[in-house]
């Protein structure tokens, strides 16, 4: 199902069938998901710490908001005329859903369909492209109109060595095939006309692979960096799509209509026509520069390393531009929330459609602190064959070279997003000598690099039920629901149920036990006492379970 968020503007006489960033902001405002901060905020010391509190201050996921800062300054007192939107694309699921334009339960299949059926973009004239309303080139970039004019905040004050673009979509292309790639990388502000970049070599991203190809040619790599754009563009920029697939075409498929693009001013690349700001230039392929420290999404500070840099040739923007900045670093964060839906959808499609796993229900990438790729839970029907469970666990471990360090299979009565429930399943439904496998020689992947051991490994755990269990020892649902009504009548704090919040059968329950339980809640439990008195025995050991004896035994 295509994204439904529709825009109304026309570009080149063609109606745009998706929201640009301004229309998205208005949709957030109408939905009560936007906080507009008009007081003066220092982008280098206050902005990200303020928003960070909604992830580290006990605020429920549903209560998080998008923040629009309209009065931005820095520590030198400089005032900026460009607002900054933080958590405006994925501060929580409701914000993400607003950007996608479809229901939460439709997001997974929407992603799968978009990846499988991209739509080639629609090229429009420069005169019709909002991103070309204001253009600065050459010497203008060094006279107050370069990177120094952009209110890029410091993400991790006290650790980062500069402001870094965190929602920056780097567009490059393969010099041989001409196919473009769009990836989201951090960008260090180094000078008004120079931007550092880290294309994450360990993730083998398109930008890094393109850089290697341009390096072989002895040429600088043309590059365009998008800061602020239609939500569907950002949603695809953060995904690791197959090499050779243009993310801008997937963006159009998400929207259900081709994305409008325009030729950049000084480099041979196509960029989103409704982008807020576009930074153009060339990435040196001969020299590298020191870059970082910077707080990374794996939850640690990435220390200084040699990385690429881009000499800027132009900055284009809308007259009323708004730039975005994502809260990343320790998860949960906007960075993890914007990656998670499509990441889970791709894993599900891989297991279900490519490997043909039977009995599969879903895939959940654990988010808090672990950054999605290290702890992955696969949910199965109770009747799923054991061979299918293990095929899925091995499949996830092999899907991407560094993903999947702790892989756990559970049944559908376990909430895959509730860590306590997962540990519960591991504690009582898995026996390590039988249900745990260690895979060696995994790639270390994205995270603090070990100086002791460059390899990693994976632990696969089958924590599904292998036999019938007694019921979960909580009151049945009907009693918990009635109690919840009384709770509300008493004016007690709002309840936020966490599974399991009521008891249910796991196979070891029968009609007689059910009848006794019914007698008990009718306060007729003396009847059960009489029955038990008639079943006294002297040929059994203490703690012998009745279910292990012949029904006819006396």
Query: CA-to-CA distance for 155 and 4, rounded, in angstroms?
Result: 32
- What's the number of CA atoms in the CB half-sphere (13 Å) around residue 432? 3
Q: Where do the CATH 2.30.110.10 domains begin and end in the chain?
A: 10-325
CATH fit for domain 10-325, picks 3.30.360.10, 3.40.50.720, 2.30.110.10, 3.40.1390.10 = 2.30.110.10
Considering only 370-374, 483-487, 526-530, which range has the smallest mean pLDDT? 370-374
Q: Is the pLDDT of residue 403 over 60?
A: yes
Query: CA-to-CA distance for 26 and 454, rounded, in angstroms?
Result: 47
User: What's the whole-number mean pLDDT along residues 158-176?
Assistant: 95
The pLDDT of residue 368:
85
Considering only 56-60, 185-189, 311-315, 478-482, which range has the smallest mean pLDDT? 56-60
Considering only 11-25, 76-90, 473-487, 523-537, which range has the smallest mean pLDDT? 11-25
Q: Is the pLDDT of residue 222 over 70?
A: yes
User: For 287-298, how does the pLDDT look when each residue is reduced to its tens digit (9 = 90+)?
Assistant: 999 999 887 777
Residues 25 and 41: beta-carbon distance below 8 Å: no
Considering only CA atoms, which of 300, 189, 173, 159 is closest in space to residue 224?
A: 173
The pLDDT of residue 195:
97
Q: Is the pLDDT of residue 1 over 50?
A: no
Query: CA-to-CA distance for 25 and 409, rounded, in angstroms?
Result: 39
Q: Is the pLDDT of residue 88 over 90?
A: yes
Considering only CA atoms, which of 385, 522, 396, 366 is closest in space to residue 466?
A: 385
Q: Is the pLDDT of residue 256 over 50?
A: yes
Q: Which residue has the higher pLDDT, 467 or 334?
A: 467
Query: CA-to-CA distance for 21 and 273, rounded, in angstroms?
Result: 12
User: For 415-438, how does the pLDDT look when each residue is reduced to its tens digit (9 = 90+)?
Assistant: 999 999 999 999 999 999 999 999
What is the average pLDDT score of the chain? Answer: 91
The pLDDT of residue 444:
76
The pLDDT of residue 367:
87
User: What's the whole-number mean pLDDT along residues 482-502?
Assistant: 91
pTM for the structure as a whole: 0.85
Query: CA-to-CA distance for 307 and 195, rounded, in angstroms?
Result: 11
In 10 A of CB 261, how many CB atoms?
Answer: 28
The pLDDT of residue 552:
46
User: What's the whole-number mean pLDDT along residues 200-221?
Assistant: 87
The pLDDT of residue 442:
85
The pLDDT of residue 291:
94
User: For 431-473, how does the pLDDT look when each residue is reduced to its tens digit (9 = 90+)?
Assistant: 999 999 999 988 877 667 677 877 889 999 999 999 998 898 8
Q: Which residue has the higher pLDDT, 6 or 547?
A: 547
The pLDDT of residue 10:
59
Residues 265 and 137: beta-carbon distance below 8 Å: yes
Q: Is the pLDDT of residue 371 over 80?
A: yes
User: What's the whole-number mean pLDDT along residues 74-95?
Assistant: 96
Q: How far apart are the first and last CA of the chain?
A: 63
Cα-flanking dihedrals φ and ψ of residue 180, to 5°? -85, 160
Would you call 225 exposed, middle or buried from its count of C-beta atoms within 10 A (0-12, 13-18, 19+)?
buried
The pLDDT of residue 203:
57
User: What's the whole-number mean pLDDT along residues 180-202?
Assistant: 91
Domain covering 355-462 assigned CATH 3.40.1670.10 in the classification: yes
User: For 101-110, how does the pLDDT look when each residue is reduced to its tens digit (9 = 90+)?
Assistant: 888 788 888 9
Beta strand residue intervals within 318-454, DSSP E: 323-325, 360-365, 375-380, 406-411, 436-443
- pLDDT band at residue 217 under the 50/70/90 scheme: very high
Q: How far is CA 114 from the centre of its chain?
A: 17
User: For 10-60, how does the pLDDT look when each residue is reduced to its tens digit (9 = 90+)?
Assistant: 554 556 889 999 999 999 999 999 999 999 999 999 999 999 999 888 888
Place of tokens 């951090």: 186
Query: CA-to-CA distance for 86 and 257, rounded, in angstroms?
Result: 27
The pLDDT of residue 507:
92
Q: Where do the CATH 3.40.1670.10 domains begin and end in the chain?
A: 355-462
The pLDDT of residue 8:
52
The pLDDT of residue 424:
95
């Amino acid at each position: 199902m295509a994204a439904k968020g529709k825009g109304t503007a026309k570009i080149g006489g063609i109606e745009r069938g998706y929201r640009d960033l301004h229309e998205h902001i208005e949709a957030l405002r109408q939905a009560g998901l936007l906080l507009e901060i008009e007081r003066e905020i220092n982008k280098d010391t206050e902005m990200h710490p303020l928003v960070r509190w909604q992830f580290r201050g006990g605020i429920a996921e549903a209560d998080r908001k998008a923040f629009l800062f309209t009065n931005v300054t820095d520590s030198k007192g400089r005032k900026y005329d460009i607002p900054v939107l933080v958590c405006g694309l994925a501060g929580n699921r409701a914000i993400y859903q607003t950007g996608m334009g479809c229901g939460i339960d439709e997001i997974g299949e929407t992603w799968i369909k978009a990846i499988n059926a991209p739509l080639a973009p629609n090229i429009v004239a420069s005169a019709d492209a909002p991103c070309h309303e204001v253009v600065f080139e050459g010497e203008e970039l060094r006279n107050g109109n370069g990177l120094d004019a952009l209110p890029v905040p410091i993400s991790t004050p006290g650790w980062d060595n500069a402001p870094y673009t965190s929602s920056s979509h780097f567009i490059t292309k393969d010099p041989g095939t001409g196919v473009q790639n769009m990836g989201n990388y951090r960008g260090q502000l180094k000078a008004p006309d120079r931007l550092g970049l880290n294309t994450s070599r360990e993730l083998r991203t398109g930008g890094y692979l393109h850089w290697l190809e341009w390096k072989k040619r002895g040429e600088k790599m043309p590059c365009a960096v998008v800061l602020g754009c239609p939500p569907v563009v950002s949603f695809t920029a953060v995904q690791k799509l197959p090499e050779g697939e243009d993310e801008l075409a997937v963006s159009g498929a998400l929207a259900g209509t081709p994305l409008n693009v325009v030729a950049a001013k000084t480099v041979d690349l196509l960029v989103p026509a409704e982008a807020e700001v576009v930074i153009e230039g060339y990435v040196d392929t001969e020299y590298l520069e020191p870059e970082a420290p910077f707080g990374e999404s794996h939850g640690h500070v990435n220390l200084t390393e040699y990385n690429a840099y881009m000499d800027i040739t132009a900055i284009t923007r809308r007259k009323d531009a708004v730039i975005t900045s994502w809260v990343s670093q320790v998860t949960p964060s906007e960075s993890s929330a914007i990656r998670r839906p499509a990441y889970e959808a791709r894993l599900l499609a891989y297991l279900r459609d490519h490997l043909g796993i039977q009995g599969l229900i879903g895939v959940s990438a654990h988010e808090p602190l672990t950054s999605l790729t290290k702890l992955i839970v696969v949910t199965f029907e109770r009747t799923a064959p054991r061979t299918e469970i293990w095929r899925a666990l091995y499949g996830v471990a092999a899907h991407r070279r560094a993903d999947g360090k702790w892989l756990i299979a559970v049944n559908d009565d376990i909430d895959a997003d509730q860590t306590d429930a997962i540990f519960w399943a591991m504690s009582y439904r898995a026996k390590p000598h039988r249900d745990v496998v260690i895979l060696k020689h995994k790639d270390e992947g994205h995270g603090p690099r070990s100086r002791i051991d460059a390899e990693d490994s994976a632990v696969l755990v089958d924590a599904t039920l292998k036999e019938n269990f007694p019921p979960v020892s909580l009151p049945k649902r009907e009693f918990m629901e009635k109690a919840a009504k009384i709770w509300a009548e008493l004016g007690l704090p709002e309840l936020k149920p966490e599974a399991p919040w009521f008891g249910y059968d796991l196979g070891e329950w029968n009609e007689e036990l059910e009848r006794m339980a019914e007698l008990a809640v009718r306060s007729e439990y003396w009847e059960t006492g009489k029955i038990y008195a008639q079943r006294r025995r002297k040929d059994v050991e203490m703690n012998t379970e009745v279910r292990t004896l012949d029904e006819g035994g006396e």
